[in-house]
A and B are shown apart, each in its own frame.
Chain A
């Protein structure tokens, strides 16, 4: 098999950006699971809501900044687009807080089956909320994609690769570093980890678990929405878009170890790279590869690569 280096680099970069998108979704899922002990089936829909809100926000932004020109214009466009993505994701924060305090809080003490039923019910409702607000037709934000791609970046090394995907890689890496900094170095992050390790002890030293849980759920929702906003420009927002990322992020967090942030990162990279290489070499394996890998890893390491959340993030 002849492997073309440029091709290999392109598919690897593709895999990396896909991995970072998956990480953004899975990180929220994994911290919610690690701390609230809830498997949030509605997480994929939060991602979809993020993408839909982003389509509206991006539409507004591109309405103001028509077609950008020159170095300064392109730079401004990039910054504004990123801010727009953050704004879109921020809509998910109040939504997450409302969902957690209204629906999930009464269920922590009950059989985990009910949490699954509830979050699945929320999944269905959120899906139809999207349908109600944005309609059944798919929504795009291709102006953002082409606008950012007008910035030549990969061409410097003689590679034909969309700049937008490089932006995703850079932003994703920033978020990864930020999250690890947050959970390892800041007080709030340590409080969250302490709550994850021992809920009762954390309450005893004056941590409000209610508040921590709300914060964690809102954070998870924010990152899911941000992933949606970042993934939108290169594809489209559809009503079914939540299902696949949800299942893939299950795979990611199981590979990494339930509740482990580091595991989620490694898992996301494995799944992202493998599925993109599979698309390149043997397309039928694309859907199957992540699940096969997950089954293999669990047979060898039953608790995933990095065990569970706790002493280290």
Chain B
């Protein structure tokens, strides 16, 4: 193919893509359209999917809804563990606003998660608030306020200073929760309000089994709404402005984007997600400890969930949350070296799947290319293994040579 033809072709696909986008943005009414022999579905304004993808999303949603049933079938899968993963994943979805769009690495997201969880716990223990909705609303509100304060103080900085400052504020909250007897110290607080020792939904009380299922479906509702809202936000002009800020702050400032205000708004938004996830966590676990909600390793985990799932995608962090929590829990059952298992997964992630789980499944990723190469010619695996061995031996040889030179000098 000559160069002209190639240019013509990209221009043509660009035009098709653009007309498809225009059609997608034209109306809120669902519709279908056939273009170049492919069918496209407009679910709502701005959301255009191929039928295959729509089926994939629906399947994922059904799986998500059916988790309590699946968990009751198999003893290896616990609803509580998956539920916890979903909640940390939700916090990671919030963190991803900063990571994906403004390119800020927050290392203190457990602060908002913990604030939400502790708000629910304090209200339930000391004020005997029994309504789930009220507990969640308060948790979200306090998480948001906390994000406002921490964001205001730490967003003067970028890069590592920002990461370390958020970490410091997170640890400060951890220290406070650990030291105050009102907050239960290191034992934490329980979330068991009322006579039934369980929160109620619109005045209805539940037994232990029903309670966990009800809370799960409340989570499903919250997560679906949260993802939809997030999708709307990142595709809005505000989301594009955040992208611009992430690419180059100074230029974004020049073209008139109020950088500080927008970044603070993004930070507070991520705090909302952290707060609501934390509040839900309090309802699910019915006990909140500083170790499990506010410790800096939790912040790290929330960050790594986003990366593991794929921080370039919307649902990636959620998937990452479920996978990481599940991995830690399952690992605990079959080896005492479950930490190393997680560690190895993270190292493999860095070298093998830098775009994360969901990112790797998208078209154009290294994994997809490799998969298609493998389908074309399975012997290519031999080449990969050979390349890996060669790279490792080369690295070791370099290390040996460097050690030699460091110890004995060049001559």
Please give the residue numbers on chain A whose beta carbons come within 8 Å of chain B beta carbons, in ascending order. 33, 39, 41, 94, 97-98, 100-103, 105-107, 110, 112-114, 116-118, 120-125, 127-129, 131-132, 210-211, 214-215, 218, 243, 247, 250-251, 254, 258, 284-285, 287-288, 291-292, 294-295, 298-299, 302-303
Contacts and interface: CB of A to CB of B under 8 A. Distances in A.
10 contacts: A101-B402, A102-B395, A113-B307, A114-B350, A121-B349, A132-B337, A210-B398, A211-B406, A288-B179, A295-B172
Given A118-B346, A247-B296, A127 B339 contact: yes
10 A-B pairs closest in CB distance: A124-B343, A121-B346, A128-B340, A287-B175, A288-B175, A101-B399, A284-B179, A125-B343, A121-B347, A121-B343
A101 B105 contact: no
Nearest to A136: B336
B161 interface: yes
B406 A218 contact: yes
B403 interface: yes
Nearest to A41: B300
Contacts of B172: 288, 291-292, 295
B337 A128 contact: yes
Contacts of A117: 304, 307, 346, 349-350
Interface residues of B, number: 51
Given A117-B346, A287-B174, A214 B402 contact: yes
Given A103-B347, A128-B337, A113 B168 contact: no
A276 to B, nearest CB: 16
B165 A254 contact: yes
A125 B311 CA distance: 23
Interface stretch (B69-77, B152-160, B362-370): B152-160
B340 A101 contact: no
Contacts of B344: 121, 125
Contacts of A250: 164, 167-168
Given A117-B307, A288-B175, A302 B157 contact: yes
Residue with the greatest number of chain B CB neighbours at <10 A, chosen from A39, A41, A124, A250 = A124
Question: Would you call the interface of chain B mostly helix, strand, loop, or mixed?
Answer: helix
B297 interface: yes
Given A112-B105, A128-B339, A291 B406 contact: no
A258 B395 CA distance: 29
A113 to B, nearest CB: 6
Nearest to A298: B165
Contact of B402 (A106, A210, A291, A299): A210
Contacts of B405: 211
Contacts of B164: 250, 254
Contact of B171 (A33, A118, A287): A287
B161 A101 contact: no
Nearest to B342: A124
A254 B402 CA distance: 31
Contact of A251 (B168, B347, B350, B396): B168
Contact of B396 (A102, A103, A302): A102
Given A251-B168, A254-B161, A94 B300 contact: no
B178 interface: yes
Interface in B193-230: none
A294 B337 contact: no
Given A118-B350, A121-B343, A287-B171, 14 more contacts: A98-B399, A102-B399, A105-B395, A116-B303, A121-B346, A127-B339, A127-B340, A127-B343, A128-B340, A214-B406, A247-B296, A250-B164, A258-B160, A258-B161
A94 B403 contact: yes
B354 interface: yes
Contacts of B343: 120-125, 127-128
Contact of B406 (A215, A288, A295): A215
